[in-house]
Amino acid sequence: MSIAMPATAPTKIPTMVNVAVFGATGSIGQNTLDVVARHPDRFTVFALAAQRNVAALKAQCLQYKPRFAALADPQAAVQLRKELREERCSTEVLAGASALDELAAHPDVHTVMAAIVGAAGLSSTLAAARAGKRILLANKESLVMSGKLFMQAVHHGKAHLLPIDSEHNAIFQCLPDTRLAADNIQPGIKRLLLTASGGPFLRTSSSALHNITPEQACAHPRWIMGKKISVDSATLMNKGLELIEASLLFAMSATQIDVLIHPQSIVHSLVEYVDGSMLAQLGNPDMRTPIAFALGWPARITSGVESLDLVQLSKLEFEAPDDIRFPCLRLARDAAKCGDSAPAALNAANEVAVAAFLDGQLRFTEIANVIDAVLQKHQVVPLDSLEAVMHVDAWARECAIKHRNSASHPTVLSNSIDVRMI
């Protein structure tokens, strides 16, 4: 197996690491800043970026005093600039998507937390990869959309890519020292097992799923997350996107990656070896653990997370996912097998469908129908440029909107993606 991860630790780690946090006002961004603040002798907040949340970003600028702040929404940036000036804060405010790209590649930035949700984070994450930064990848959609194109950018830019999703971070921790590959020693990995909590509707009947509300879907039993990722967790699409991400990160086929439902969210993922051994990473469900691991790697640093009390754990349960009640996982697995542009189309259709559900325009059970309809119409093509990725993304969104508008007559889910190459 060829592990698509840095083979060795960075040869030179700066005494003070400048960190840029993209998606700073979201849950991952806030947790990142929490960990960084615990180590003022190691990390400096160099830049903060968000979409349009002026109030939250202003508060962070006043607390961490970064050199730069950026908002993708230009009007929001104007407001932030005005309010910071009134507070006599010296942070320079930038505006627009191009500003995020510039900050990601800034020569004074050492580490980029890529936590902008959805397709909006792709361009800046690619910019960080091409500039050779240490990328803490929390935006799985970037990798799902661009696939091999992103991994090539990491390789050519000599970037260090470290996964933040708790599952992929767990796998990385359970893998052998990848320097073994240089000695022609085979790691002997048989398969990867991604764990999933099952979301809030693990025991909900199929008939009841039809009337699920956005508020119910966002009430995750274990993790505190944003609305979009909470809905993805409820449909199990989040686990499907993680399957695609794992396939790319660790150079494993989709058939070598399985999903296990684990309601307690204590075992974050496992690696099975050919000798029958299984290695697992355990910990309390707190994103500060993988964030601290990636910030400090190859060293271990404190995260603020409480120790896991194994004595108090009554049991750890595991079961197979139900692809009938939660078809999004199967759709994602099919897209992973197709490769090329199929995952990009899947991701775009899902973003449109989830947004429609959150806006009350689509039923919970119709999310998968919209995604399936888009995939049935999609003609799978190779992706060799960012423009090609965005073209597929735009087409899939337009197609998803059409099917969203006709969702009052949903189609029956097909058994597989109709792959048509052009």
Kindly report the average pLDDT of the chain as a whole number: 89
CA distance 149 to 85: 40
pLDDT for residue 12: 62
* Helices (H) then strands (E): counts for the chain: 17, 11
Higher per-residue pLDDT: 182 or 333 = 333
**What stretch of H or E contains 227?**
helix 227-235
What CATH class does 330-405 carry? Answer: mainly alpha
At residue 419 the predicted structure's pLDDT band, cuts being 50, 70 and 90, is very low
Find, among 191, 331, 164, the residue nearest to 258 by Cα. Answer: 191
pLDDT for residue 322: 92
Domain segments of the chain as ranges: 17-171, 330-405
Asked whether residue 408 carries a pLDDT value surpassing 60, the answer given is no
Q: At 40, list the tokens.
A: 């003022």
pTM attached to this predicted model: 0.87
Asked whether residue 4 carries a pLDDT value surpassing 70, the answer given is no
pLDDT in tens, 151-165: 999 999 999 999 999
At residue 184 the predicted structure's pLDDT band, cuts being 50, 70 and 90, is low
Asked whether residue 186 carries a pLDDT value surpassing 70, the answer given is no
pLDDT in tens, 308-324: 998 888 789 999 999 89
Share of residues in the chain with pLDDT > 90 (%): 75
pLDDT for residue 237: 95
Q: Are 341 and 348 in contact (CB under 8 A)?
A: no
CB count in 10 Å sphere of residue 124: 29
- Mind giving me the DSSP string for 132-189? T-EEEE--HHHHHHHTHHHHHHHHHHT-EEEE-SHHHHHHHHHSPPGGGGGGT----E
- Mind giving me the DSSP string for 236-262? THHHHHHHHHHHHHTT--GGGEEEEE-
pLDDT in tens, 143-153: 999 999 999 99
At residue 414 the predicted structure's pLDDT band, cuts being 50, 70 and 90, is very low
Beta bridge partners of 8: none
pLDDT for residue 117: 83
Asked whether residue 6 carries a pLDDT value surpassing 50, the answer given is no
CB count in 10 Å sphere of residue 341: 24
DSSP E strands: which ranges in 72-110? 92-95
Q: Are 194 and 269 in contact (CB under 8 A)?
A: yes
- C-alpha 193: how far from its chain's center? 17
Mean pLDDT of 268-295: 96
Asked whether residue 418 carries a pLDDT value surpassing 60, the answer given is no
State whether the Cα torsion 238-244-250-255 is positive or negative: positive
pLDDT in tens, 331-389: 999 999 999 999 999 999 999 999 999 999 999 999 999 999 999 999 999 999 999 99
pLDDT for residue 421: 30
pLDDT for residue 226: 79
pLDDT in tens, 204-249: 888 889 889 988 888 876 766 778 888 999 999 999 999 999 999 9
User: Could you say which architecture CATH assigns to the domain 17-171?
Assistant: 3-Layer(aba) Sandwich (3.40)
Higher per-residue pLDDT: 192 or 412 = 192
CB count in 10 Å sphere of residue 358: 17
pLDDT in tens, 249-272: 999 999 999 999 999 999 999 999
pLDDT for residue 313: 84
State whether the Cα torsion 213-215-216-220 is positive or negative: positive
**What stretch of H or E contains 49?**
strand 43-50
Asked whether residue 131 carries a pLDDT value surpassing 80, the answer given is yes
Most confident of 5-19, 131-145, 176-190: 131-145
